[in-house]
Structure 1
Amino acid sequence: MTYVLSTGIEPPAVPALRRLDPRLRIVSAVAFAVTAVALQSLSLLTVMLLVAVMLMIAAKLPVGQTIKRVIAMDSFIIVMIAFLPFTMEGTPIFTLFGFPASYEGLIRAIEIALTANAVVMAMLALAGSMEEVTFGQALHRLKVPAKLVHLLLFTIRYIEVLRQEYRRLRQAMKCRGFRPGTNGHTYRSFGYLVGMMLIRAMERSERIMDAMKCRGFTGTLPMTQRFELRGFDVVFALGFSVFMTAMLMKEYLL
């Protein structure tokens, strides 16, 4: 007789967007990025940004973590966006410290900001919410070169190991009284840190390769996951294709 222990708590439902075929999600993310980059109209880019936000809501991504990732991307391009109005020729609209800001430069800065945020949000919603192994196997089913897929899977698997190794080395430096500053000793110390990281990474990779060969590794990883397009996938693909085509036609034909 089999007894089933019930806790009375139902597992959380998987969002509909995450139930899509992983291959379709990757293709849709690439198509969205290509379409957003091809657009120049601010109104159309605003629509793309709103659609990206809707995708994020549909994927039910963690709000705090997602905002941090978007802010990290914005902080990377904020300097370029801030200086673009002052470095692009055009109709001056205001002057700051004697430097004129052009209307064309301001429009281009807004265009870049809208495009970058829309693409990043869509990528996080469509591809970033997938399991790493599923992402790699979906790439393999999309005929991405096997070496690139293997490199991706190994990187995902061992990047945390390298991070822990870095933290141990930094902790060892702190225990020896190291305090970073703007001097030659600090630069040499960080250089030694990078060198030790590379040496330990090479040694670990050799041990991992030997262990994998002992287990019969022949240079290929088994890709066991099977993907199948269902009715919901087809409906999403058709709707997404119509929307992307409409955006491009509105930009270039109408």
Structure 2
Amino acid sequence: MFDEPFARGQSLLHAVDPRFRLVAAFALAVGLAVLRHAGAACLGLGFAALALVLSRPPAGAVLRRLAVNVFIAFLWLTVPLTMPGQALAAWGPFTFSREGLMLAFLVTLKSNAIVMFFLALVATMDSPTIGYALDRLRFPSKLVFLFLFTYRYLHVIAEEWRKLHVAARLRGFVPRTDRHTYRTLGNMIGMVFVHSFDRSARVYEAMILRGFSGRFRSVTAFRATARDAAFAAAASGCLLCLMAADWYMELYRG
């Protein structure tokens, strides 16, 4: 199974109803995504950092997840050079624009805030709980099935690939950039798909024999409490503060 270090904890956020956390995470992510000003995005980043601290995550895991900034670094290298606007510096045909710099800064703030909110609110649940919460929120059943089965059997497929790779190595296979290597890897990938299809057929037949009617039954019962209502109020307040701050800055600039 996959390692889920954020799901192991006893913080205040871990105790909140998963349905409330999912709705709050998506609502805050959408709210952050439409912000137009860096000041409001800074406020959102502060709220996200506070939520992440309240979830008491392992520091090492947080740093690994925030490696998304490696990809954002490419924006800092390209956007200021390609976006027209007030020139801050120029090197031959390349112009470093102020508008491009501000856009890269805004994207950095918003992306980090969204990642932190999801780490604090969604990653603190294990994958089956997320699936059951999506089902309680009336998400399409096929989408929930796809999510749960992907989580359940992705590691099985990875184990099948590992077995094939070990078997190939025992037979003297050494990957190279030649036709034999490409043919061998293609056969191995094909065998993974064939074995996965066979397993899916066996699993489907086993579920039918056990009376599967198209809906998962979970022993976990979600019940909203006063704590969940307080969390919903706090999340709504954060979202309203972000929208109000962005609107104020747009009005002030105008």
**TM-score, normalization by structure 1:** 0.87
- Counterpart in the other structure of 1:123: 118
Is 2:70 aligned against 1:67? no
SS at match of 2:13: helix
CA 1:20–1:200: 2 relative to 1, 3 Å: same
Of 43, 60, 76, 1:47 maps to 43
Is 2:203 aligned against 1:237? no
1:235 deviates by: 1.4
- Counterpart in the other structure of 1:5: none
Of 238, 241, 253, 1:246 maps to 241
SS at match of 1:90: coil
Q: d(CA) in 2 for partners of 1:130 and 1:100? A: 46
Of 61, 70, 78, 1:83 maps to 78
1:210 deviates by: 1.6
- Counterpart in the other structure of 1:196: 191
Read off the aligned partner of 1:85 and give its amino acid letter. P
Asked if the contact 1:81/1:113 (under 8 Å) is kept, the reply is no
Asked if the contact 2:43/2:242 (under 8 Å) is kept, the reply is no
Q: Which stretch shifts more, 192-201 or 28-37? A: 192-201
1:56 deviates by: 1.5
Asked if the contact 1:90/1:104 (under 8 Å) is kept, the reply is yes
Q: d(CA) in 2 for partners of 1:193 and 1:50? A: 48
Q: d(CA) in 1 for partners of 2:193 and 2:180? A: 20
1:70 deviates by: 1.9
1:83 deviates by: 1.0
Q: Which stretch shifts more, 161-170 or 29-38? A: 161-170
1:216 deviates by: 1.9
- Counterpart in the other structure of 2:23: 27
- Counterpart in the other structure of 1:161: 156
Read off the aligned partner of 2:33 and give its amino acid letter. V
CA 1:43–1:220: 2 relative to 1, 3 Å: same
- Counterpart in the other structure of 1:179: 174
Read off the aligned partner of 2:136 and give its amino acid letter. R
Question: Identity of paired residues, percent?
Answer: 35
Q: Which runs of 5+ in 2 are unaligned?
A: 1-7
1:86 deviates by: 1.2
Is 2:100 aligned against 1:105? yes
CA 1:162–1:250: 2 relative to 1, 3 Å: same
Asked if the contact 1:82/1:109 (under 8 Å) is kept, the reply is no
CA 1:161–1:96: 2 relative to 1, 3 Å: farther
1:78 deviates by: 3.2
Asked if the contact 1:136/1:153 (under 8 Å) is kept, the reply is yes
1:96 deviates by: 4.7
Asked if the contact 2:47/2:238 (under 8 Å) is kept, the reply is no
CA 1:199–1:124: 2 relative to 1, 3 Å: same
SS at match of 1:113: helix
Q: Which stretch shifts more, 175-184 or 28-37? A: 175-184
Read off the aligned partner of 1:123 and give its amino acid letter. F
**How many residues in Structure 1 have an aligned counterpart in Structure 2?**
242
Q: Which runs of 5+ in 1 are unaligned?
A: 1-11
Q: d(CA) in 1 for partners of 2:196 and 2:154? A: 10
SS at match of 1:193: helix
**TM-score, normalization by structure 2:** 0.87
Q: d(CA) in 2 for partners of 1:143 and 1:85? A: 43
Q: Which stretch shifts more, 156-165 or 216-225? A: 216-225
